[in-house]
Structure 1
Amino acid sequence: MRSLADDLRARSDDELAALLRARPDLARPAPSDVTTLAARATTRASIQRALDQLDLAHLQALEAVVVAAPASPAAVAALLDCPVRRARTLMDRLHQLALCWPAPEGMRPARPVAEVVGTPAGLGPEAPGVPEGAALASALEGLGPRPRGLLEALTWGPPVGALSHGGAMADAAETLVAAGLLTRVDEDHVELPREVALALRGGRLHRHPSTEPPALDLAPLDPEVVDAAAGGRAAELIVLVTEVVDLWGSRPPRVLRSGGLAVRDLGRLAAHLEVDTEQAAWLLETAHAAGLLAVDDGGSRSGAEPTWAPTLEADDWSDRSPGERWARLARAWWAMPAAPSLVGTGTTGRVNVLSTQTSYPLARLRRHDTLTALASLPPGAAPDAEQVETLLRWRHPLRSARFGAEHGVGADTALREAEWAGVTGRGALSGPGRALVTDDDRRDVPNGDRHDPAALMEPLVPPAVDHVLLQADLTAIAPGRLDGPVRALVHLVSDVESRGGATVHRFSETSVRRALDLGWTADRVLAELAAVSRTGVPQPLDYLVRDVARRHGQARVGSCAAYLRSDDPALLDRVERDRALGMLQWRRIAPTVLVSPVPAPTVLDLLREEQYGPVVEGGDGGLALAAATTRRTTARPLAPVHVSTVDDEVARQVVALMRRGEGARSSGLDEAGTHTDPVVVTAVLREAVASGSAVWIGYADDAGGVATHLVRPESVEGGRVRATVGEADVVRSFLLHRVTRARAAD
């Protein structure tokens, strides 16, 4: 083995397919041969993606390989202070990811890996003239307290220290420089050589090696208790989304010109659902991602104002089983790129719910990392947010460092949303939640329903109740979740007063009048309530319904612009003299008829506000009953979230393509050693910079011709190649995008 490319050529098809699955960016677009694969695997962007996937143990092992290269498992184990078997396991994984390759002397990192890793573990570079072995140990033992303190301050990094001119510390630094234990960077700075730092660290690379996951002090909960709590949360989620569909189906809020929902409408919805605005915002974003809410632009209605309304799919969703309804919402939350926690006033201004400003793909990544970390713990484990952050810092150290300063994407946010979604219960991952997170959905195989989140959640959701308990204080208590016809009846003739395990509904004149406006009679209202009540109809409720029905429809509104007709002249006298109705400009044309220049719908609304209970009269003198209208719109597909993944079938197809490309090159169909792929060309030039070798390149000039040059590259950066041409010493600059081909000179 002379390079990573040689190592990749020696791998089997199964090993190459495993590499493409682990690093999917290498397969898109498909590399033409193994040389192209090796070049793509050593680009800084691809290496950075691979490092983002590593946990702290593998990152420290990679640093150890960089420091000890060529590294043996024993040397890596000594640097990490771990058993040789564990070091070998870590190195094997780094080799599988093509971050290292086995040279005859030991494991070596791919050349750009050291550049991406940077300063490993806070160590400085190696320096000439440093004592070795026993001489180094003797030099360190003979130091005085001040030089020793200076070295200890630099031991664990950073290795560079600043000194003032003159004084005891400057004298100590000069003593250390003379002994070869420090190197001078410039007049004001000194640096601790790598060999000295490792000796001071006792041969360890890190102060606290982390080759194993952190041990969390957890008291596991009973999985059945966790599942029961998650089932209750799932039932609550279904109820809240159904409430949103019903409310916005009858009174859809308008869409802001800038997109999204107004703050006032969000607050009104939160008050109606009796939740805080954060949960209401999360609920709306989840329902929107599930395709249950969308913008209704009015369609054929001219001048119609765009509103937020339920979609036609919301009706189909309502007919599904509770498990399927929960699974659709949970999957939407798991996959959506929106970050509801951003809603509110932040440093960038106001962020409205359901607007494009809530789109934040990093929040989705953080959500996946957090729940995947929970899935790695034993069933029933319920860590708090701080413990989860500790686990995330070990599982994804580079990613967690970037998330540290980000707003609204912490582990506490992901855990809170998971609780709202019914994915967790009492802080622990539930059985259906674990199936959702691990993507263990096997509905297409025999007995696959055991791994389907919807099937797992179905028995956990408390069943809906088909009755209520009517009380003498004009309330009805629903001892559970209402669904179907019972829910429609109770929500028609009453209003929700308080929510919880048992929801309290309040009867009032306004709520009873809703049913009467639809043409119901008092007898029908009481009969329907008696059919669903376990306690019968209390006398106060009977009196309320019959009293409202007796006064309902005594006043009738028609078109004049509008007229008000009633067989009770005393009622018209009261209406005519009501100051709250003065804007209607009543005029009496008969003892039982008032007319107004104000349109009939306005007259109707004002009379209902003043509790006169009018009804609409048609042109034939009959009653024009109001129809129960619900707004629905067509679901609009959201912008898809593309996650670059490579399954086994695609990986094997790419491997077969690379094998054919290797065969064509070895058979002489292409000029041996000449590369035209831009990624490979860049890799060849960077390799030449590192090795100081010459390269033949093809370079396109301004006229479109391609000339061949023999160059010795000195640097490749900023889209330019600085190199000497031929045997000349003059450095020339080449534009990298004009280099058409490259081949190492013999």
Structure 2
Amino acid sequence: MPKSARSFADDLRARTDAQLRVLLAARPDLTRPAPADLTSLAARAATRGSVQRALDRLSADRLRVLEAVLVDGADAAPKLLKTTKRNVQAVCRTLWDEALLWRSPEGFRPARAVAEILSSPARLGPPARELGVPDRSADAPAAYESLSGGAKATIDRLRWRHPRASFDGPAATSVLDELITAGIVVRADDGGGVIPREVGLALRGGQLYEDGVTPPTAPTRELPAHDVDADAAGAALDILWRVDALVRSWDTSPPRVLRSGGLSVRDHRAAASALDADLELAAFVIEIAYAARLIANDGDFEPSWLPTAAYDDWADSGRASRWATLATAWLDSSRAPSLAGTSSDQGTINVLSTEVGWPMMRTRRHDVLEILAGIDRSVGVPTEYVDAVLHWQRPLRLPEGAPTRADEVLREAAWLGVTGRGVLSTPGRALLAGGGAAAAMDSAMPAPVDHLLLQADLTAVAPGPLTEQLHSLMQAAADVESRGGATVYRFTDKSIRRALDAGRSASELTEQLTVASPTPLPQPLEYLISDVARRHGQTRVGTAGCYLRNDDIAMLDAMSSDRNLSALQLRKIAPTVVVSPAHPATVLEMLRQHGYSPVAEGQDGHVIHVGGGHARAAAPAVSGPPRLDAVTSEVIDEVIARARRGETAAAGRSANGSGPRIPSTDPTVTLAMLQNAAADGSAVWIGYSDPGGVLHRTLFRPQRADGGRVTGSVGKGGSESRTFSIHRITGVAPA
């Protein structure tokens, strides 16, 4: 057990290097920037912001032990929490490791900021002495039994939830008067009522919490492991098809970007219809494609959502690799697709809009998957259990009643194939571990088939997932009619024309389908391919930047043969019409430079004036989430070594009679050190500047520090009282 110390700062300065390593690893914010010495480290560890971050990471059992110490000390904690002394001592040692408790001669005491942040530990009210009333906890149980039904119901609602309540109306006021008369409630300054801490504890039977320090009970429903991975692989194949179908659809008919950003409700519904999905699943498919950078805003004058170059690389990779790209993007994304379609202050939230972003979603996905990973591989996990564990792990960040979005995370994980039948799949575990997800999913996926069952009704049945080559062929030449254990495709005029537009010839298409079919190619399919191919390409469409027309055929011939205009690549398509691939403004300028007098005309034939286009900035790149450098063991060792050197230098200067070194401290650290000294009743050395800017130093015994000022006595005798502004104090050092 740690030895006792006279103050929090002395407690921390007395720690060994190994104990400091544990502290800095648990609270990495203390390493940035590196403290000058151990005194500065102790001051920073006592600041409200740092303590708040440490408390936010506590699980419910550790937080409840800390609250028990706040309420009645470490010795009473086992009774308050209905647990063993050994358990409490183990947790207290962990809290001491993190500098949330320190060892005083009277036992473990919370750091000063802990009491400030946890001002209502275990939802209990202020102590009776703070309320200025006597302790009537001994009479509380009997007083409760003597209450009327309405007063009892009021106490039952407040007993475990909150110590304060408002009482509005005549009936409520009479209840408040009854409770005050019974000594259970004290009238508050705002006219409401507050239950003193001692009375509230007595009404709870001497317990801080009904469930003590017992975590949620893990489920026991077991499932065959191979069914889990098979279910996950099926979901993975389905999401790959949906993402690919969405991006291919937007490649040919890109939807517009709303002026406010995002996708319109109409386009969202159209995507859901095309994917044969509900709006929630369609929103997830769109958002996961965006997170994986497969689609993006093209940044045009009238912007559209289009595939990116990354999509082409993604489409050419293997199916397991494609899934791993989507799964990794989902795990690292801070976007919450479930928000699409809900209402906000600005109206309905659109898919792909900035309002879909929720910074905590990334952390929540990791938290949920970590919970699933901690359960046996064959046990299905219900949403209620995950929700309860999240509340248990982060009780301050997720107080009782706060939504966790665990149901949304689990639903997305099931859609993606990270889970199967409510169990974290083998590929999901590899994804969470940070490596091997693609290989794990490749093993889970069924072996691809290399043949089709072609029917005379222009359909084809794929009895399983197709090989990459055959899958690419069917995507180009047929439309999916139904999906399931087997996929049914249908050949149509439009689908065959799509394959021919992509560069396949009719003979090549017929040959590839013949090779893929174990039976001869059905005659109706041959006729369909031949008929579409006969009509394909009869009409030709080309591109031209502009046209020139002139009733003077000789003038047009002169322009076409003019070597000075060869860069315009003029080509006659009719006796009085010439076309050029150049921009109209470029053609006008060059013709005028070489002695011609052209004018520009609009689509209706009227003369217009054509000016040069305005240069526009490129669309800004989307920045990734902020990432902090990890606090490695090397960094921690360097911080400790620097603090030790600073402490040794300060001790050397003190021994030489020059007085303690007063390091420069920022106002937050200064205020924390002065508040600690006031709470401990100890003196400190301070450096300060007077109104003329001259620096001074003095021995100071602070008594009260708040509101940007500190009041106390100066000098060794402590006879003179002084008040200093915090911003004028340049540094603080222990006396």
TM-score using structure 1 length? 0.77
- Determine if contact 1:714/1:721 at 8 Å carries over to the other structure: no
- Cα distance in 2 between the residues matched to 1:714 and 1:54: 32
- Determine if contact 1:294/1:636 at 8 Å carries over to the other structure: no
Of 723, 726, 732 in structure 2, the residue corresponding to residue 742 of structure 1 is: 732
Identify the range of structure 1 (419-428 vs 310-319) with the bigger mean alpha-carbon deviation.
Answer: 310-319
User: Residues 59 and 505 (structure 1 numbering): CA distance in 2 closer, same or farther, change over 3 Å?
Assistant: same
- Determine if contact 1:382/1:426 at 8 Å carries over to the other structure: yes
Amino acid at match of 1:655: I
Of 497, 519, 527 in structure 2, the residue corresponding to residue 543 of structure 1 is: 527
Of 31, 54, 72 in structure 2, the residue corresponding to residue 68 of structure 1 is: 72
Identify the range of structure 1 (323-332 vs 263-272) with the bigger mean alpha-carbon deviation.
Answer: 263-272
- Cα distance in 2 between the residues matched to 1:491 and 1:171: 77
Q: Which residue of the partner structure matches residue 665 of structure 2?
A: 677
Of 638, 641, 651 in structure 2, the residue corresponding to residue 666 of structure 1 is: 651
- Cα distance in 1 between the residues matched to 2:321 and 2:619: 21
Of 395, 413, 416 in structure 1, the residue corresponding to residue 411 of structure 2 is: 416
Offset at residue 262 of structure 1 (A): 3.7
- Cα distance in 2 between the residues matched to 1:166 and 1:296: 64
Q: Deviations over 1:395-436 (max 9, x none)?
A: 22222228826xxx6111111111122111111111221233
Root-mean-square deviation (CA, aligned residues, Å) is: 4.1
User: Residues 202 and 276 (structure 1 numbering): CA distance in 2 closer, same or farther, change over 3 Å?
Assistant: closer
1:369 partnered with 2:370 = no
Q: Which residue of the partner structure matches residue 470 of structure 1?
A: 454
User: Residues 319 and 531 (structure 1 numbering): CA distance in 2 closer, same or farther, change over 3 Å?
Assistant: same
Determine helix, strand or coil for the equivalent of 1:398: coil
1:80 partnered with 2:81 = yes
Aligned 1:601-680 pairs, distance under 5 A:
638-642=623-627, 645-668=630-653, 672=660, 674-678=662-666, 679-680=668-669
User: Residues 675 and 65 (structure 1 numbering): CA distance in 2 closer, same or farther, change over 3 Å?
Assistant: farther
User: Residues 378 and 246 (structure 1 numbering): CA distance in 2 closer, same or farther, change over 3 Å?
Assistant: same
Offset at residue 160 of structure 1 (A): 5.5
Aligned 1:493-532 pairs, distance under 5 A:
493-517=477-501, 521-532=505-516
Of 187, 204, 207 in structure 1, the residue corresponding to residue 207 of structure 2 is: 204
1:340 partnered with 2:337 = yes
- Cα distance in 2 between the residues matched to 1:558 and 1:324: 38
User: Residues 46 and 215 (structure 1 numbering): CA distance in 2 closer, same or farther, change over 3 Å?
Assistant: same
% same residue: 44
Determine helix, strand or coil for the equivalent of 1:309: strand
User: Residues 478 and 717 (structure 1 numbering): CA distance in 2 closer, same or farther, change over 3 Å?
Assistant: farther
User: Residues 257 and 707 (structure 1 numbering): CA distance in 2 closer, same or farther, change over 3 Å?
Assistant: farther
Determine helix, strand or coil for the equivalent of 2:444: coil
Determine helix, strand or coil for the equivalent of 2:641: helix
Amino acid at match of 2:341: G
Amino acid at match of 1:428: V
Q: Which residue of the partner structure matches residue 42 of structure 2?
A: 38
Determine helix, strand or coil for the equivalent of 1:459: helix
Of 313, 318, 321 in structure 2, the residue corresponding to residue 316 of structure 1 is: 313
- Determine if contact 2:176/2:193 at 8 Å carries over to the other structure: no
Q: Deviations over 1:97-138 (max 9, x none)?
A: 211122232111111111111112233444469999xx975x
Q: Which residue of the partner structure matches residue 550 of structure 2?
A: none
1:290 partnered with 2:292 = yes
1:698 partnered with 2:683 = no
Identify the range of structure 1 (57-66 vs 477-486) with the bigger mean alpha-carbon deviation.
Answer: 477-486
Q: Which runs of 5+ in 2 are unaligned?
A: 548-573, 580-617
- Cα distance in 2 between the residues matched to 1:205 and 1:136: 15
Q: Which runs of 5+ in 1 are unaligned?
A: 299-303, 442-451, 563-593, 600-632
Q: Which residue of the partner structure matches residue 426 of structure 1?
A: 421
- Cα distance in 1 between the residues matched to 2:461 and 2:337: 33
Q: Deviations over 1:595-616 (max 9, x none)?
A: 999x9xxxxxxxxxxxxxxxxx
Amino acid at match of 2:636: A
- Cα distance in 2 between the residues matched to 1:551 and 1:191: 86
Offset at residue 79 of structure 1 (A): 1.1
Offset at residue 249 of structure 1 (A): 4.2
Give the count of matched residue pairs.
652
Identify the range of structure 1 (383-392 vs 120-129) with the bigger mean alpha-carbon deviation.
Answer: 120-129
Aligned 1:437-476 pairs, distance under 5 A:
437=432, 439=433, 441=435, 452-476=436-460
- Determine if contact 1:127/1:183 at 8 Å carries over to the other structure: no
Offset at residue 306 of structure 1 (A): 4.1
- Determine if contact 1:292/1:635 at 8 Å carries over to the other structure: no
Q: Deviations over 1:202-247 (max 9, x none)?
A: 33222331x1211144412122211221122222233333334444
User: Residues 38 and 403 (structure 1 numbering): CA distance in 2 closer, same or farther, change over 3 Å?
Assistant: farther
- Cα distance in 1 between the residues matched to 2:709 and 2:104: 29
User: Residues 662 and 710 (structure 1 numbering): CA distance in 2 closer, same or farther, change over 3 Å?
Assistant: closer
Q: Which residue of the partner structure matches residue 381 of structure 1?
A: 379
- Cα distance in 1 between the residues matched to 2:144 and 2:14: 55
Identify the range of structure 1 (76-85 vs 667-676) with the bigger mean alpha-carbon deviation.
Answer: 667-676
Q: Deviations over 1:69-108 (max 9, x none)?
A: 3x23xx2211110122222222222122211122232111
Aligned 1:205-284 pairs, distance under 5 A:
205-209=208-212, 211-284=213-286
Offset at residue 369 of structure 1 (A): 2.1
Of 8, 12, 17 in structure 2, the residue corresponding to residue 13 of structure 1 is: 17
- Cα distance in 2 between the residues matched to 1:197 and 1:688: 32
